[in-house]
Amino acid sequence: MNDSTKLENLRQALLQKNKFATIDRNFCNRLSIAIFTAQNDYLSTTTIMRLFGLLPMDERSLNPKVLDMLYRYADCTSLRLLKVG
């Protein structure tokens, strides 16, 4: 499984968990708040916007710590074993 497939699976898991209708800045803000509320991990709205392609992604955007927070929130135990990178 390549990195882009893993990221797409993570995006889909996050969307399924939250069931928001549109992916926009407001969605990313609500997801940031939901992650913080659920597990006391802070991810900026900007980082989440990069994950969903609303902003350009750079190499620092999705470091292993950020990915781990997202995998834990999405409850993707199987995906966590296949981390990007």
Q: What is the pLDDT of residues 51-78, one digit of tens each?
A: 999 999 877 778 889 988 999 998 865 5
Indicate the pTM of the whole model: 0.81
Q: Which residue has the higher pLDDT, 41 or 57?
A: 41
State how far Cα 24 lies from the chain centre.
14
Residue 82 has pLDDT above 50, yes or no: no
> Hey, where are the domains in the chain?
3-79
How far is residue 3's CA from residue 22's CA, in Å, rounded to a whole number? 24
